[in-house]
């Protein structure tokens, strides 16, 4: 993707790198770590995020090959630039033992089938529901925020063995989840190209 990087963003990354050495991270991991930190102005994400470079490489290929991207909420979708997403929250309804967010994940899975990239930044119940489905995801960006269920849902994601980006703490949210996806979206397809 050809993308013009604004001077403010360039300066922000310069300052970030002056405060935190990210050069030891593999390329896609570094891209995700830096973009998440950039979105939250929170250097602690460098040690809080959990991901595998091999999983990111496969997801990067899938993303640039047109794999569907599903989000749990419209705020995550709004943060993902230059890419259409699927979000079924407006169509979802809550019921006994089922939150509206969880129902939206079911609806989205029915729509896109297996192999999608899932970006969850708001609702732990959405991530929990995804883990019950046979979604065979290309990647799950599981960064829901909150004091109830967020840590547990992200731990369950890591224990599932699915290809994932998650974090250990309660932190997360729509901005950091979309930032993680954008890092893969903006990263060049050819390794010889430079990144921001």
Q: What is the pTM of this model?
A: 0.92
Name, in order, each residue with C-beta under 8 angstroms of 157's C-beta and a sequence gap of 6 or more: 127, 131, 140, 142, 164, 166
pLDDT tens digits, 53-69: 999 999 999 999 999 99
Mean pLDDT of 154-158: 98
DSSP string computed for 85-121: -B--GGG---BTTB-HHHHHHHHHHHHH-TT-EEEE-
pLDDT score recorded for residue 191? 52
Question: Which residue out of 6, 24, 38, 103 is catalytically annotated?
Answer: 38
**CB proximity list for 46: less than 8 A, separation 6 or greater:** 20, 22, 33, 37
Selection from 157, 191, 179 nearest residue 45 by Cα: 179
pLDDT, tens only, 11-34: 988 899 999 999 999 999 999 999
Mean pLDDT of 46-57: 97
Give yes or no for residue 194 having a pLDDT over 50. Answer: no
Average pLDDT, the chain: 93
187 noted as active-site residue: no
């Amino acid at each position: 993707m050809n993308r013009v990087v604004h001077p403010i963003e360039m300066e922000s990354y310069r300052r970030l790198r002056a405060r935190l050495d990210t050069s030891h991270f593999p390329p896609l991991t570094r891209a995700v770590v830096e973009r998440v930190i950039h979105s939250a102005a929170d250097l602690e994400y460098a040690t809080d995020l959990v991901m595998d470079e091999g999983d990111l490489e496969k997801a990067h290929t899938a993303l640039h090959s047109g794999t569907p991207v599903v989000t749990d909420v419209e705020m995550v979708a709004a943060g993902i630039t230059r890419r259409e997403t699927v979000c079924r929250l407006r169509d979802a309804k809550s019921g006994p033992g089922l939150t509206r967010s969880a129902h939206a994940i079911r609806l989205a899975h029915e729509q896109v089938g297996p192999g999608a990239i899932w970006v969850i930044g708001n609702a732990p119940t959405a991530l929990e529901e995804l883990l019950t489905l046979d979604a065979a995801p290309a990647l799950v960006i599981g960064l829901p925020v909150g004091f109830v269920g967020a840590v547990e849902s992200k731990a369950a994601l890591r224990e599932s063995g699915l290809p994932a980006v998650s974090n250990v703490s309660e932190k997360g949210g729509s901005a950091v989840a979309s930032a993680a996806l954008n890092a893969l979206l903006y990263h060049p397809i050819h390794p010889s190209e430079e990144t921001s």
